[in-house]
Amino acid sequence: MLPFASEGYPFVLVPALAGILAFLFGAPALAVVFWVVMAACVAFFRDPARASTAPPDVVLAPADGKVLSVGGAPPAMAARGLPQQVSIFMSPANVHVNRAPISGTAREVRHTPGAKLPAFRDKASELNEHSFVLLEGERGAIAYKQIAGSLARRVVCDLSVGESVLRGQRVGLIKFGSRVDLFLPGHALVDVTVGQRTRAGVTPIARLATAGGA
């Protein structure tokens, strides 16, 4: 059976039941439309198992998708000691379950309402609805934002302040498209390029080198 995120059940059951009713009331063509929608939702909310053998100092991708940008973080994040940013754009065809980039403790978790700009726009990180998580690990802190896009209706963050997570652990999802921004310290050695495809909990994004570079 296809691994499935529980958040998707309403999106699957409603068109499934609507299709059955349409068929029973003599509208088979409409029933097929509902069942196609159901199948699309099953595919969208798939939640495959993931594992990585990367060394402990490696930061893993928090999302499936394509690297949209690699560069400097906004001044507010740089001031917090996280001057580097990697943005991953998630199309509707991607798995939308998000995973912890590092093992650590959630020191900050907050949700910010906002706009529904297309997720690939630069201002989406600041203006769109998003959840922000700051994780503190053995080699320092990193942060990430789950950002809603023009199609996304809800950002789901499963973490609470003080909760500990393991790298690659499921930490939430974004319903119907969008983007995840990853904020890294200055000593992180980024190992991805724009346009590169990523898999949550599998693809190495950066290495958290120590102060001495080891």
CATH of the domain at 78: 2.70.70.10
- Please tell me whether residues 39 and 72 are part of one structural domain: no
pTM score: 0.81
- Please tell me whether residues 62 and 34 are part of one structural domain: no
Q: Are 207 and 88 in contact (CB under 8 A)?
A: no
- Please tell me whether residues 121 and 197 are part of one structural domain: yes
Q: Which residues are catalytic?
A: 178
Quick check: helix, strand or coil at residue 97? strand
- Please tell me whether residues 110 and 161 are part of one structural domain: yes
How far apart are alpha carbons 85 and 186 in whole angstroms? 10
User: What does the pLDDT profile of the chain (214 residues) look like in tens digits?
Assistant: 457 667 767 777 888 888 888 888 888 898 888 888 888 777 777 788 888 999 999 999 999 999 999 999 999 999 999 999 999 998 878 888 899 999 999 999 998 886 666 556 666 667 678 899 999 999 999 999 998 865 555 788 889 999 999 999 999 888 766 889 999 999 999 999 999 999 999 999 999 976 444 4
- Please tell me whether residues 114 and 182 are part of one structural domain: yes
Report the chain's terminal Cα–Cα distance, integer Å: 43
- Please tell me whether residues 104 and 155 are part of one structural domain: yes
- Please tell me whether residues 178 and 87 are part of one structural domain: yes
- Report the number of distinct structural domains present in the chain: 2
Structural domain for 34, as ranges:
6-44
